[in-house]
Amino acid sequence: MSDTGSGIAPEIVSRIFEPYFTTKRHGSGLGLATVYSIVKKHQGHIEVESTVGQGTTLHVWLPAAERPPEPVATEAGPLRAQTGRVLFMDDEAQIRDMAITLLQRMGLEVTAVDDGSAVVIEYVAAREAGRSYDLVMLDLTVPGGMGGAKAMEKLRQIDPQVRAIVSSGYSSDPVLANHRAHGFSGIVPKPYVVGEMAEVIDRVLRERRS
């Protein structure tokens, strides 16, 4: 993949895949870090070549299958119907929109916010109004704001019985390695797989009601 843009200075080429590193005024520094994480999870490799004033080329290698996959008969079915209220947090608007659509298709009432501080404020307000949330879904990483782990600490102080699912695109994060030790009832890694996400939501909600 190549462009004919301004290119990348040699002294920063080695840093472009680092989380939060960005040269853009309003950038998050997570775009290429996410790409790098996805490629590595698929046992691939990625390299960059860039010349200032001429452009940049990214080379991505992914392992080829030894043989074509065998066809698997699958039967598409509707998402399991649910009832309840979900508070969803992610700093990316597109992910929030996707989550609202999915959760509403499951029959859930959903409120989406963009960082941990907003989660805490909304959770407290709902409890005081007698409309407590049945489930909270938290993204771990929020550039410039409160992330999921810190928000969960505050929620547990407010409500020790809070049920929450943690989400992240960084599989090496220690919270993901032992999410229950941090109070989370489930984990949904990024990039999302709708079926897996729905199964985790269904399980956590059933555990809450059992």
Could you give the CA distance from residue 84 to residue 133 in angstroms, rounded to a whole number?
7
Q: Look up residue 137 and give its DSSP letter.
A: E
pLDDT of residue 72: 60
Asked whether residue 95 is assigned to any structural domain, the reply reads: yes
Q: Is residue 90 located within the same domain as residue 171?
A: yes
Which of 61, 77, 104 terminates a domain? The answer is 61
Our count of domains for the chain comes to 2
Q: How far is CA 28 from CA 15, 32, 66, 204, in A?
A: 14, 10, 38, 31
Task: Show the domain range for 50.
Answer: 10-61
Q: Per-residue confidence of the chain (210 residues) as pLDDT tens digits?
A: 999 988 998 898 888 888 888 877 766 777 888 888 889 988 999 999 999 999 999 999 999 988 887 776 544 455 667 889 999 999 989 899 988 998 998 899 999 999 999 999 999 999 999 999 999 999 998 888 999 999 999 999 999 999 999 998 776 678 888 899 999 999 998 888 888 888 999 999 988 777
Asked whether residue 191 is assigned to any structural domain, the reply reads: yes
pLDDT of residue 76: 47
Q: Is residue 25 located within the same domain as residue 124?
A: no
Q: Look up residue 192 and give its DSSP letter.
A: P
pLDDT of residue 46: 94
Q: Is residue 49 located within the same domain as residue 109?
A: no
Q: Is residue 100 located within the same domain as residue 164?
A: yes
pLDDT of residue 79: 61
Q: Is residue 129 located within the same domain as residue 192?
A: yes
pLDDT of residue 157: 96
pLDDT of residue 52: 92
Asked whether residue 3 is assigned to any structural domain, the reply reads: no
Asked whether residue 38 is assigned to any structural domain, the reply reads: yes
pLDDT of residue 169: 77
Asked whether residue 27 is assigned to any structural domain, the reply reads: yes
Q: Is residue 107 located within the same domain as residue 17?
A: no
pLDDT of residue 182: 92
Q: Is residue 38 located within the same domain as residue 113?
A: no
Strand ranges (E), 103-194: 109-113, 135-139, 164-168, 186-189
Looking at the DSSP bridge assignments, the partners of residue 57 are: 2, 49
pLDDT of residue 166: 95
Q: Is residue 131 located within the same domain as residue 199?
A: yes
Q: Is residue 142 located within the same domain as residue 200?
A: yes
pLDDT of residue 121: 97
pLDDT of residue 171: 67
Q: How far is CA 72 from CA 68, 69, 75, in A?
A: 12, 9, 10
Asked whether residue 113 is assigned to any structural domain, the reply reads: yes
Asked whether residue 166 is assigned to any structural domain, the reply reads: yes
Asked whether residue 71 is assigned to any structural domain, the reply reads: no
Query: Residue 94 is part of a domain; what is its CATH number?
Result: 3.40.50.2300
Q: Is residue 107 located within the same domain as residue 202?
A: yes
Q: Is residue 49 located within the same domain as residue 101?
A: no
Q: Is residue 16 located within the same domain as residue 57?
A: yes
